[in-house]
Amino acid sequence: MHRTLAYTIFFIVLVLLQAFLFDNLNLSIYIYPLVYTAFIILLPIQTPRIAVLLLGFAIGVAVDAVSGTAGLHTIASLASAFCRPMMLRLSIGKEEANEGGIPNSVKLGTGAFLRYSSVFIFIHCLVFFSFEALSWSYFHLTLVRILFSSAVTVALVYCTQLLFTPGQLQKTRKTQ
Amino acid sequence: MLSIDVSRFALYLIDSTRFYTNPGMNRLFLFFKQIYVPLLFIILEVVAINYYAQSTSYTRAKILSSTNSFMGNVYTTFSDVKHYFSLKKENDSLVNELVELHNEFEKYKAANPQPEETLELPESEAAKYYYTTANVINNTIAFRENFLTLDKGILDGIEANMAVITPEGTMVGIVQTCSEKYSVCMSVLNEKFRTAGRIKGSDHFGSIFWNGAKEDIVQLTEVSKYADISVGDTIVTDYSSIFPSGIVIGTVQSWEMVADSYFDLEVKLTTPLTSVHKVLLVRYADQVEQMMLEAEALNEEDNK
């Protein structure tokens, strides 16, 4: 429970960053980073499935409201939040999943974290851009958009999750 | 399976002393425990998809204008900061424009040495086009349908269907909807955007649209096969109830003949949409009259 405040601040910061920075970045028509996914990715492992789903819904609605997209972010974040427990189990194994904690690169290891977050972000981008395009006629363009945006988002989420590691790094050093 | 469980559920409600000990009841509870997250997921997803499916491009403006009291202020602050970095460039372009206008004015003076005698300014209501300015506070390019948000709305005299152009006179988009203080414009990088484009210096024209592949290329389609085209030709707006005639769209980059009957051209935008910060809005005075007349003619044709 002591992390509630930290996660609330994280939620607000991510929504504002998405609206004012990443919505307006305009690097290319193929790159649209969905950095707010970091919030769902970094929820503690032991968070109940129902809470993950509802929080995914909440951040989707919030991002939709500030960037003016009608339900698009909500559709994507609901889908990815629903699949999260499955992805966690697949990428880190059941025993470690039962242990709990924040699923960052220190806890899972860099390889496992990248595996987990890129699958998560890929699913999110897949749903997001498929619903955005809603047609097969420009399928190849949508696919390029999904791949490029996923790659950039994974890089940004990796940087973001470093915020959640310093305390843990010290702890592991002390125990060693 | 489910119907059997439900009938058992009714039985156990009557005989509630066996509630916790009976395996059948436990199975029902386990079933619900397993299914309530997917169930909630499906319900929420259906609601979201339904809302998205019923949304139009106007929904965006509605959402933005309802969150505008807070968001608008922050947007404006952010764009002010961004704007600061382009001040020098903007000053240069303003000075250039001033020089051009001065030169043009000198030409008029040379041609007509005594302007007082012949020049009569028409009444302002008689002007064909009305211009006003606005700042871009939000601009997306990564979607199939892209929009610009401007910091002026109904209170500043902005209306739907006004043309949006850069101060240098190149095309940007069309105002789609306004709230009191903000307006949302469909940019040329929007798959619903359509306008007429003409090859400057000739009478050959076609339809401008964006195929979504490149951020600085739009398509000009169905240009007459008798047109004389070369790379670098300027494409301007034409025959529009929205854009004044002769607004620069871009330059021809390549073309191909389709089915031996017409040309499809790729047009490189003169002003990339990513670098638009300040815009001019143009209202065509006779727009409503022209649009109504055109709609009427179309109806008559349908009735025949």
Over range A145-162, report the average pLDDT. Answer: 91
- The CATH architecture that domain A4-175 belongs to is Orthogonal Bundle (1.10)
CATH topology of domain B57-115+130-284: Thrombin, subunit H (2.40.10)
d(CA A113, CA A157): 10
Reading the block at residue A150, the tokens are: 């996923």
Q: Find the closest chain A residue to B216 by CA distance.
A: A29
Q: In which element (H, E) is residue A54 found?
A: helix A49-67
Q: How far is CA B265 from CA B54, B62, B219, B220, B258, in A?
A: 34, 36, 6, 5, 10
End-to-end Cα spacing for chain B: 62
- Average the pLDDT over B185-203 and give the result: 86
In order, the DSSP letters of B275-304 are G--EEEEEEETTHHHHHHHHHHHHHHHHH-
Q: What is the pLDDT of residue B289?
A: 78
User: CB–CB of B212/B205 below 8 Å?
Assistant: no
Find the residue in B nearest to A30 (Cα).
B142
SS3 B216: coil
* Residue A42 clears pLDDT 50, i.e. is over it: yes
How distant is the Cα of A39 from the closest Cα of chain B, in angstroms? 18
Q: Average pLDDT for residues B26-46, to the nearest whole number? A: 85
Are B140 and A23 an interchain contact pair (Cβ–Cβ within 8 Å)? yes
Q: Across the interface, do B74 and A20 touch by the CB < 8 Å criterion?
A: yes
Kindly report the backbone phi and psi dihedral angles of residue B172, in degrees, each rounded to the nearest multiple of 5, phi listed first.
-120, -50
Q: Specify the pLDDT at position B121.
A: 57
- In a mutagenesis test of the A interface, which of B81, B137, B141 is the best target, namely the one with the most A β-carbons within 10 Å? B141
Q: Tell me how far apart the alpha carbons of residues B172 and B270 are, in angstroms, rounded to a whole number.
A: 10
pLDDT at A76: 93
Quick one: average pLDDT of B22-47? Answer: 83
User: What span, in angstroms and rounded, lies between the C-alpha atoms of A129 and A152?
Assistant: 15
CA distance B247 to chain A (A): 25
pLDDT grade, residue A155 (50/70/90)? very high
Token couple for B270: 């003169």
Burial classification of residue B120, based on how many CB atoms lie within 10 Å of its CB (0-12 exposed, 13-18 middle, 19 or more buried):
exposed
* Domains of chain B, residue spans: 2-54, 57-115+130-284
Q: Where do the H-state alpha helices sit in chain B? A: 2-14, 23-54, 57-66, 68-85, 87-111, 115-118, 287-303
In whole angstroms, what is the distance from residue B253 CA to residue B251 CA? 6
Q: Which one, of B213, B222, B294, B201, lies nearest residue B265 by Cα?
A: B222
Best of B34, B35, B36, B40 to disrupt the A interface by mutation (most A CBs within 10 Å)?
B40
**B45 inside 8 A of chain A by CB:** yes
Average of pLDDT values for B169-196?
86
User: What is the structure's pLDDT at A74?
Assistant: 93
Give the whole-angstrom CA distance, residue B217 versus residue B211.
9
Provide, as residue numbers in chain A, all residues whose Cβ is less than 8 Å from the Cβ of B49: 71, 75, 131
List the domain boundaries for chain A.
Answer: 4-175
Cβ pair A160, A36 in contact under 8 A: no
Residues of chain B with pLDDT > 70, as a percent, come to: 81
Contacts of B189 in chain A (CB under 8 A): 29
First to last CA, chain A: 27
The answer to whether B144 contacts A23, with C-beta atoms less than 8 Å apart, is no
Judged against a pLDDT cut of 80, whether residue B210 lies above it is answered with yes
pLDDT at B4: 55
Angle of CA points B287, B288, B289, to nearest 5°: 90
**A interface toward B at CB cutoff 8 Å?**
16, 19-20, 23-24, 26, 28-32, 49-50, 53, 57, 60, 64-66, 68-72, 74-75, 78-79, 82, 131-133, 138, 141, 145, 149
Instruction: Name which of A23, A31, A70 is nearest B138 (Cβ-Cβ).
Output: A23
User: pTM value?
Assistant: 0.76
Please give the residue that has the higher pLDDT: either B276 or A154. Answer: A154
Cross-chain Cβ contact B140/A24 below 8 Å = yes
pLDDT, tens digit, 9 for 90 and up, residues A102-153? 888 888 888 888 988 999 999 999 999 988 887 777 788 889 989 999 999 9
Eight-class DSSP state of B124: G
Q: Flag if A24 and B138 touch (Cβ within 8 Å).
A: yes
Task: Supply the pLDDT for residue A176.
Answer: 44
Look at residue A175 in the predicted model and tell me its pLDDT: 47
Span B86-113, pLDDT tens digits:
778 778 888 888 888 888 888 887 877 6
Question: Under a CB-based contact definition with an 8 Å cutoff, are residues B221 and B235 in contact?
Answer: no
The minimum CA-CA distance between A140 and chain B, rounded to whole Å, is 10
**Taking CB atoms and an 8 Å limit, are B45 and A75 in contact across chains?**
yes
pLDDT of res. B193? 87
Residues of B in contact with A75 (CB under 8 A): 45, 48-49, 52
Q: Where is pLDDT greater, at B22 or A109?
A: A109
A168 to chain B, minimum CA–CA distance in Å?
31
Question: What's the whole-number mean pLDDT along residues B224-241?
Answer: 82
Residue A149: its pLDDT value, please?
A: 92
